[in-house]
Amino acid sequence: MTTKSKFQAIKGTRDLLPPETALWNRVEQIAREVFATFGFGEIRMPIFEPTELFARAVGADTDVVSKEMYSFDDRDETSISLRPEATASVCRAYIENGMQQLPQPVKLYYTGPMFRRERPQKGRYRQFYQIGAEVLGGSDAPAIDAEVIQMLMTFFDKINLAGTRLYINSIGHSADNCRRAYVEKLRAALQNVKDNLGADSQRRIDTNPLRLLDSKLESEQAIIETLPHISDHLCDDCRANYAAVKSELELRGVIYKENWRLVRGLDYYMRTTFEITAQGLGSQNAVCGGGRYDGLVELLGGPPTKGIGFAIGEDRLILSLQEGGNASLPQGRDVYIAWMGQRPYAAAVRAAKNLRKAGLSVELPPCELKFSKALGQADKIGAKFALILGDNDVAEGLSTLKNLADGTQQKLSEPDLIAFLQQNQSK
């Protein structure tokens, strides 16, 4: 039951509570383990940055920057924004910390909250959480693109995320001019159908026609299908690069589907872009997006640097795990200590200390309860076992352990008790 409190969390934000937070921790832990096997180390960055960093990196004309950032003036009147994404910060940190001096490439991952003032709905929040990774510096060999994607799919596999689909595309290279030529063709084609497009899309014909391919507006879908495809306009280098990325994915047994409309909402991407969808999420079914961004570090004032990365939407990942029934949570407690009497209480405090030291989760009621009441409490919090301590048990030097699932009881000495509980511990 919820009660109405005087203060409520701001629209689009929410509290993450136990036991669900155990699932969040497990997902993050598996990400850390999988990413470490690919040689990635963790970076922790500030949650706010100069507004200009995002305007420059993400693009002043993107929805994220132009409509969705939480920006405010600091006391010295510089504009600061809560980070809407983390790639810009990772690149800033790479430059600021002289990471180009380290052996290249530098492989980093992060986890944490991001902020975008979007319209809240299932799987879309104003404070949401991402797990992301970036490879900066060194070569732009297609094997790197494929390995980053392979790492992602390994992670999704490890957490048992059901119904994942990987979509890939190449959006060409502005330096090779193939993207520029394609954008001009696209713009010309869009001018011909302008009157049939919505207001947002009409505006984007001038500002960012590529973004139109992302449109989810029902009335625009048939029109978009008639537009020129970028794959028919890639230059020789970009075409060869895309073919090589696909064959590197095949070499690794990574299954993908091509999607020519996958352009992604942030300006910094070039060549490889990818997105992963999962089941049970309705219209917000993308759990991860990423791509190559070779020009970004330079755009932020650093040396020419190759880059590729991705961001996983952790909120959606958790939702999909829950919808798919793959979200079994650890039991409430390993053991509940039911005690009655003064000597048993001292024994209970000692037992709690020793059991916790052995890594078991223990609930020790702070006040004396009748055994029947205590066992009821133990059931309520989902304990697996109850340790029953009365005067007789203390006198015998043994404790009675009751299995709360089947009601069986046994008497055990303390070392046997710890060994038995550890064997039966919830993982």
Residues making contact with ligand AMP (CB under 6 A): 85, 116, 118, 123-125, 128, 130, 265, 286-289, 311, 313, 315-316
Shortest Cβ 265–ligand AMP spacing (Å): 5
Q: Which residue is nearest to ligand AMP (CB)?
A: 313
Q: Which one, 234 or 318, has the nearer CB to ligand AMP? A: 318
Question: Which one-letter DSSP state was computed for residue 232?
Answer: G
Q: Which one, 138 or 265, has the nearer CB to ligand AMP? A: 265
H or E segment to which residue 236 belongs: helix 236-251
Residue 421: which residues within 8 A CB-CB, separation 6 or more?
A: 334, 335, 355, 358, 360, 385, 401
Q: Which one, 281 or 378, has the nearer CB to ligand AMP? A: 281
Shortest Cβ 408–ligand AMP spacing (Å): 46
Residue 378 tokens read as: 């133990």
H or E segment to which residue 314 belongs: helix 314-323
Per the document, the length of the chain is: 427
Shortest Cβ 183–ligand AMP spacing (Å): 20
Residue 341 tokens read as: 């009497």
Q: Which one, 213 or 417, has the nearer CB to ligand AMP? A: 213
Shortest Cβ 45–ligand AMP spacing (Å): 15
Q: Are 240 and 263 in contact (CB under 8 A)?
A: no
Shortest Cβ 68–ligand AMP spacing (Å): 8
Q: Which one, 114 or 417, has the nearer CB to ligand AMP? A: 114
Residue 178: which residues within 8 A CB-CB, separation 6 or more?
A: 172, 233, 234, 235, 238
* Dihedral sign, Cα of residue 275, residue 280, residue 284, residue 287: negative
Q: Are 136 and 297 in contact (CB under 8 A)?
A: yes
Distance of CA 168 to CAs 25, 149, 262, 398, 419, Å? 29, 10, 7, 63, 50
Shortest Cβ 287–ligand AMP spacing (Å): 5
Q: Which one, 55 or 394, has the nearer CB to ligand AMP? A: 55
Shortest Cβ 116–ligand AMP spacing (Å): 5
Q: Which one, 130 or 201, has the nearer CB to ligand AMP? A: 130
Sheet strands side by side (includes 307-313): 41-42, 106-115, 127-136, 307-313, 286-292, 270-277, 165-170, 257-258
H or E segment to which residue 82 belongs: strand 79-82
Shortest Cβ 300–ligand AMP spacing (Å): 17
Q: Which one, 122 or 411, has the nearer CB to ligand AMP? A: 122
Q: Which one, 54 or 182, has the nearer CB to ligand AMP? A: 54
C-alpha dihedral, 366 to 372 to 378 to 379, nearest 10°: -160
Q: Which one, 131 or 383, has the nearer CB to ligand AMP? A: 131
Shortest Cβ 302–ligand AMP spacing (Å): 21
Question: Which one-letter DSSP state was computed for residue 101?
Answer: G
What are the backbone dihedrals phi and psi of residue 73, each rounded to the nearest 5 degrees, phi first?
-90, 130
Residue 102 tokens read as: 């380290």
Q: Are 320 and 280 in contact (CB under 8 A)?
A: yes
Shortest Cβ 335–ligand AMP spacing (Å): 38
